[in-house]
Structure 1
Amino acid sequence: MCGITGWVSYERDLVAERATVDAMTATMSCRGPDDSGTWISGPAALGHRRLAIIDLPGGTQPMTVETGEGPVALVYSGETYNYTELRRELAARGHRFTTDSDTEVVLHAYLEWGTALAERLNGMYAFALWDGRTHRLVMVRDRMGIKPFFYAETPDGVLFGSEPKAILANPHARREVTLDGLRELMAFVKTPGHAVWEGMREVEPGTVVTVSPEGVRTDVYWRLETRPHPDGKDVTIARVRELMDDIVRRQLVSDVPRCTLLSGGLDSSAMTALAARQLAESGETVRSFAVDFVGQTENFVADALRATPDTPYVHDVARASGTEHQDIVLDSGQLADPEVRSRVIRARDVPAGFGDMDASLYLLFKAIREHSTVALSGESADEVFGGYKQFFDPEACRARTFPWLVRMGEELGDDGDILTEPLSHALDLPGYVADGYASAVSGVERLDGESDEEYRMRRVSHLHLTRFVRILLDRKDRASMAVGLEVRVPFCDHRLVEYVYNAPWALKSFDGREKSLLREATADVLPRSVYERVKSPYPSTQDPRYHKALQESVRDLLAKPSHQVFDLVSRAWLERAVQDGTPQRAQSARRGLERALDLALWIDIYAPTLTLD
């Protein structure tokens, strides 16, 4: 896992711009603490920061091949899980390798198949190739969007990077956020290709972006397609288990210490149990880690989202699977620390407003990194198998909007109220969400003879797999890579995604519960307590001291009346929120307080030009 960046400028020799290329590369040091490299040739410059995972001595980048017609150079971030099979195939075709790294396999795969190599890769990746034979830059991103990838066109080329901060380090980049960028920030809908920063775009998942002197071209090599599902229940359950066994086995491959993230839910428990069983074959033990808060289990109060605390279930799995387990227990002081908030925003490049859930994830990953370099996560199983409450909420499924938005305000609190009235009017978030929804569902194909109910649930699944999951994958990647931890997501393997997506909803929920297929496919490795447990989202602290710390931070912000954040945020709303101490009001206001603090700190750190008209 690594950080990549680069610059193509067809009207200049970038050898003279090495200091700028080095500055862009340095912004990715958190993603790649082990090594650094740059490569410059005429109009092309590539930068790389390495987190060594496979072939520690041999995977140095940028990696190049001299073809006789010009160099081909690669900077690569991620993992290709089927690289050993590809290596054998390429070797049979006459390719010779000097390292054991997957990076060299990807480079030779491009030499053999060109951009068609993308269709052959199984993994999570974002990479860029400069083809000196054609003077073209080729940028490729994995199918599900696990690894981030951004670019910004310039008058004579392009800037790119794993994260916006790499692009923003170039003086030719714009640090501007317009109303459209603020809409994307506030709406929680994840528009494909949108990067918040004006003039910047994402390389969309499943696409190849080619830059040439003639301009930029985008080609789609994978999309989520509707196909018939001929398998019955028993065959489908068996196929899910077969896929999961293969996926976990592939993703356990590493030359550095690895572990699992264990929450005590069905997803992470199944993954951990499968990993433990496979490693036991070679006499190894899985390390597992979970996040908890001081006093959370003893003083837990059930709410609309979480019926039970995680820790008892975590320990059941750890005992049953024989993992070497450690709870990372955090207190409110750590979660509310302004320095932690600052690090989270620097990791995300935008003020996401997730508050303690972002802080705890960052601190969890930071603690894990002291022991492991690779972690397997249960992320995305809810989107794949249908685990969220909204899948079982008729109102949410029938609403002409993104299902997760229907009850978000009442469950998490509403942060839309924090905006000034003029800005709220100018943004027209309901209109933005409505347009986004219409675009998102327009391409969902319907099977011949598919019932209205099945097609409705297909749309719900499609929205989660192409929009919602990308929000969480970006969050996971930024928080983990901010501390140099590689987090792998087995449930995002495209083979599993394609197969389960096309299983009818009646089959995915055959017992009337969430994630029926996954539960039955892994029933033999799960403790009964976890098998019976109802879905519980990522934990959030219930400690009232955390809310009080938030209020104090907002009072400090209110003491700075000239701060630019008040061009966005209503002072009157914040003043009311910090004065109201009732538990009900405190919880409903918490999301807004988090958002206001994030916006203010983001402005302090990034100094964006805010164009509000």
Structure 2
Amino acid sequence: MCGIAAIIAPPGIRSGPRETRAREQELLGMLESIRHRGDPECFAERRAGPRAALGTNRLAIVDRAKARQPQTDARQQVWLAYNGELYGFRDLRNELMACGHRFHTESDTEVVLNTYLEWGAEGLKRLNGMFALVLHDERDGSVLAARDHVGIKPLYYAEWNGTYYFASEQKALLKQPGLIRTVEPGTYIKNGVPHRYFRLDPRPLRQSDDEAVATYRQLFDDAVRHQVETDLPVAVTFSGGIDSAAVLHSARRHHPDVTAVTIGFEGSADVEVAERYCAEEGIPHIVSRLTTGELFDVIPRIAAGAEFFEAIDAMDTCVGYFAFRLVREHGFKLALCGEGSDEVMAGYDLFKEHPDPGDLMRYRVHNLHRTDLQRVDRSSMMHSVETRVPFMDRHLLEYAYRVPMSQKLRGGTDKWLLREAFRDRLPSYLVDRPKIRMPDGSGLKTTLVDHALQRDDYDRALGQPIGIDTPEGAFFLHQYLLAGYPMPRERHKRAGYDYSPNGYFEFIS
């Protein structure tokens, strides 16, 4: 897992040594702003050529000794900067070897490179994982940037006078002219033109309850098994809810060294339940209790690091920040979490109240890349921790997305299918525990809202032009602007929840 950046000059531009060095220095500045996304000893692995400069801050997980980036082919004609993890990639590696490709590392990065060499952009359809990449093909001068199927890993870009700038976080592009845009999930951009290579099938499945439970459980186990195929110890952020409990249980089935990590304020219901389960099962468990003082102190860093201005996402990130700090303090580079389950399995109360919960599910899933998945990425990478999200495994998501709503919401019970899949694996106090939103379960409650109300150093009407009409929303927007980000463009609302026509927010430069 890494932070990547790239600068690609227009076709026909071939710089001399002075221009190439200048472009390399510009690239180094971009990588410096996202230094936290990699190991210190792997900072700014890079290559600057006559037209393109690509670089990586590498967080070494797979083939830590040899998988230096950017990687290239034997003739040094195709260069790849890659941020991600492929799951079960050794099967694809064997297929590529049968096609005649030779490998010099054990890394998934080299598998991605050879997948492109064999199948071009069509090869993206073969990948299951979380990734963002930029590839420069000197054979035809083409540039390809791509993002995983649901947007687990981030990728942004700006264009000015034909030069493209790419980076893992927006902060690396703030000094560049032009509009900062998002590479959309399941999309690749080739020579400036976006193409969708992945779409979720919305057609409901026809299946019995028994078939659904068996299929879901098998796909979930496969997802977790692939995501813990590592020789590193694994942490699981554990809230005591059904989602993270399912991840923790399956991770322990497939990896010998798994530790649960839980945080909360004094009196937290999440901590109480998590401590009970870990004690009963003999699971190594790290617990930390937060204080309001340290929470308030970290708000400016959250605004800068997470790149959020929505209050709910910012508040959730504040708590996530401390969870992943705890993970890193105890020596873990790799963690798993339960994010994404509530969106695809209809886990929130608002699904029960919505006139069309299926429509809401589709909307929430397709916007995860700018809500929960962005929060997980930023709050974990601020501490150089790679966090994997089994519920977003491509094969599991493709299936769960098509599960009829009647097998997600039943008799007032949310996430019915997930609960039934783990009914014989987890105690009833976990399987049947109602959904408790993070502010309540962690003990955060209204602490940050009250803090915003007590502050008088910001304009409470600041966010009204873009549809933010609460004091806490204005407060976090104020913090976001103080961090150096430009004012977001107009935001729209639809059917009671936030909506952006393009699924992301553009910025005024």
Q: Into which bin does the TM-score normalised by the smaller protein fall?
A: 0.7 to 0.9
Q: How does 1:123-272 map to 2 (within 5 A)?
A: 123-170=129-176, 173-174=177-178, 199-211=179-191, 216-272=192-248
Q: What residue in structure 2 maps to residue 362 of structure 1?
A: 321
Deviation, 1:567, is 8.0
SS in 1 for 2:64: coil
Q: What residue in structure 2 maps to residue 273 of structure 1?
A: 249
Q: What residue in structure 1 maps to residue 381 of structure 2?
A: 481
| Counterpart pick for 2:402 among 499, 502, 509 | 502
Query: Contact between 1:273 and 1:321, CA under 8 Å: does it hold in 2?
Result: no
The 1:592–1:226 alpha-carbon spacing in structure 2 relative to 1, beyond 3 Å, is: closer
Percent identity among equivalent residues? 35
SS in 1 for 2:414: coil
SS in 1 for 2:139: coil
The total of aligned residue pairs comes to 476
Residue identity in the other structure for 2:373: L
Given the alignment of the two structures, is residue 392 of structure 1 paired with residue 400 of structure 2, yes or no? Answer: no
1:504-554 per-residue CA deviation (whole Å, 9 max, x = no partner) reads 2122234541011111111122111111211111135457876665455x2
| Counterpart pick for 1:119 among 110, 115, 125 | 125
Given the alignment of the two structures, is residue 15 of structure 1 paired with residue 23 of structure 2, yes or no? Answer: no
1:245-280 per-residue CA deviation (whole Å, 9 max, x = no partner) reads 11111001224332101011110011111112333x
Given the alignment of the two structures, is residue 513 of structure 1 paired with residue 407 of structure 2, yes or no? Answer: no
Residue identity in the other structure for 1:265: G
Q: How does 1:436-455 map to 2 (within 5 A)?
A: none
SS in 2 for 1:242: helix
Query: Contact between 1:6 and 1:45, CA under 8 Å: does it hold in 2?
Result: yes
Q: What residue in structure 1 maps to residue 306 of structure 2?
A: 348
SS in 2 for 1:264: coil
Q: What residue in structure 1 maps to residue 462 of structure 2?
A: 568
| Counterpart pick for 1:462 among 357, 362, 371 | 362
The 1:328–1:595 alpha-carbon spacing in structure 2 relative to 1, beyond 3 Å, is: same
Which stretch shows the higher mean deviation, 5-14 or 150-159? Answer: 5-14
Residue identity in the other structure for 1:83: F
Q: What residue in structure 2 maps to residue 56 of structure 1?
A: 64
Measure, in 2, the Cα distance between the counterparts of 1:609 and 1:389.
32
1:328-369 per-residue CA deviation (whole Å, 9 max, x = no partner) reads 2101111111xx112111112343334543222112211111
TM-score (norm 1): 0.73
Measure, in 2, the Cα distance between the counterparts of 1:465 and 1:611.
23
Q: What residue in structure 1 maps to residue 5 of structure 2?
A: 5
The 1:356–1:500 alpha-carbon spacing in structure 2 relative to 1, beyond 3 Å, is: closer
Q: What residue in structure 1 maps to residue 51 of structure 2?
A: 43
1:573-604 per-residue CA deviation (whole Å, 9 max, x = no partner) reads xxxxxxxxxxxxxxxx9x94433333333333
Deviation, 1:496, is 1.4
Residue identity in the other structure for 1:362: Y
Measure, in 1, the Cα distance between the counterparts of 2:207 and 2:128.
24
| 5+ long unaligned stretches in structure 1 | 175-198, 298-308, 399-455, 559-564, 571-588
1:193-227 per-residue CA deviation (whole Å, 9 max, x = no partner) reads xxxxxx1211110011101xxxx211111111123
Measure, in 1, the Cα distance between the counterparts of 2:174 and 2:303.
15
Residue identity in the other structure for 1:601: Q
Measure, in 2, the Cα distance between the counterparts of 1:228 and 1:346.
41
1:423-480 per-residue CA deviation (whole Å, 9 max, x = no partner) reads xxxxxxxxxxxxxxxxxxxxxxxxxxxxxxxxx3432221121125641111111111
Deviation, 1:610, is 8.2
Q: What residue in structure 2 maps to residue 327 of structure 1?
A: 287
The 1:116–1:604 alpha-carbon spacing in structure 2 relative to 1, beyond 3 Å, is: same
SS in 1 for 2:200: coil
TM-score (norm 2): 0.88
SS in 1 for 2:154: coil
Query: Contact between 2:309 and 2:476, CA under 8 Å: does it hold in 1?
Result: yes
| 5+ long unaligned stretches in structure 2 | 491-507
* Larger RCO, structure (CA 8 Å, separation 6 or more): 1
Q: What residue in structure 1 maps to residue 264 of structure 2?
A: 292
Residue identity in the other structure for 2:145: M
Query: Contact between 1:316 and 1:527, CA under 8 Å: does it hold in 2?
Result: no
The 1:321–1:135 alpha-carbon spacing in structure 2 relative to 1, beyond 3 Å, is: farther
The 1:545–1:344 alpha-carbon spacing in structure 2 relative to 1, beyond 3 Å, is: closer
Query: Contact between 1:320 and 1:527, CA under 8 Å: does it hold in 2?
Result: no
| Counterpart pick for 2:99 among 86, 93, 114 | 93
Residue identity in the other structure for 2:9: S
Q: What residue in structure 2 maps to residue 182 of structure 1?
A: none
| Counterpart pick for 2:84 among 59, 78, 81 | 78
Query: Contact between 1:38 and 1:47, CA under 8 Å: does it hold in 2?
Result: yes
The 1:468–1:113 alpha-carbon spacing in structure 2 relative to 1, beyond 3 Å, is: closer
Query: Contact between 2:47 and 2:53, CA under 8 Å: does it hold in 1?
Result: yes
The 1:609–1:528 alpha-carbon spacing in structure 2 relative to 1, beyond 3 Å, is: closer
Query: Contact between 2:233 and 2:257, CA under 8 Å: does it hold in 1?
Result: no
Bigger radius of gyration: 1
SS in 2 for 1:539: helix
Query: Contact between 1:508 and 1:517, CA under 8 Å: does it hold in 2?
Result: yes
Deviation, 1:40, is 1.3
SS in 2 for 1:49: strand
Which stretch shows the higher mean deviation, 349-358 or 543-552? Answer: 543-552
